[in-house]
Amino acid sequence: MDRQYYIDFLLDHYEHPRNRGPLEDATVSVTGGNPGCGDLVTMHVRFDGDRLAAIRFEGEGCTISQAGASIVAEQFEGRTASDVTEMGFDEIVEAMGKDVVMSRVRCATVALGTLKSAVEERRKQLIEAGER
């Protein structure tokens, strides 16, 4: 796909974010960011067993970080925790258009890193509860 496709894809997610907003019954809420450029993303996740039953995000920052949060939330809702842990940062960069986001990789990956932290937080909760 060409560069313009990815630019349009990112702008669409930025201007019409999917899964944006609070999630009242979240099992886990984790905030991550990139202080160097002001990106901030909070991922709210409701787990149903190992499945990420609902994902919402809140945040502020550049177009790439906020579009990335929308893409990540949409892509992983309904999938398993292992799907999140197995996803590499290179894969999300490719999905967002490597040519477009390569100079802003930290912005592009902040949401995935935050979602990975949410999955880890859930794992810790289960261990503390004696469920794993």
Residue 44 has pLDDT above 70, yes or no: yes
Average pLDDT across the chain, whole number: 95
H helical segments located in the chain: 3-15, 63-76, 81-86, 89-96, 98-101, 105-128
What radius of gyration do the chain's Cα atoms show?
A: 14
Q: In the prediction, which pLDDT does 36 show?
A: 79
How distant is the alpha carbon of residue 114 from its chain centre? Answer: 6
Residue 131: DSSP 8-state: -
Question: H or E segment at 80?
Answer: none
Q: What CATH topology corresponds to 3-123?
A: Sufe protein. Chain: A (3.90.1010)
Q: In the prediction, which pLDDT does 132 show?
A: 64
2-16, 39-53, 73-87, 118-132: range with lowest mean pLDDT:
118-132
pLDDT in tens, 21-43: 999 999 999 999 987 789 999 99
Q: Is 58 helix (H, G, I), strand (E, B) or coil?
A: strand
Which pLDDT band holds residue 62 (cuts at 50, 70, 90)? very high
**Which pTM was predicted?**
0.95
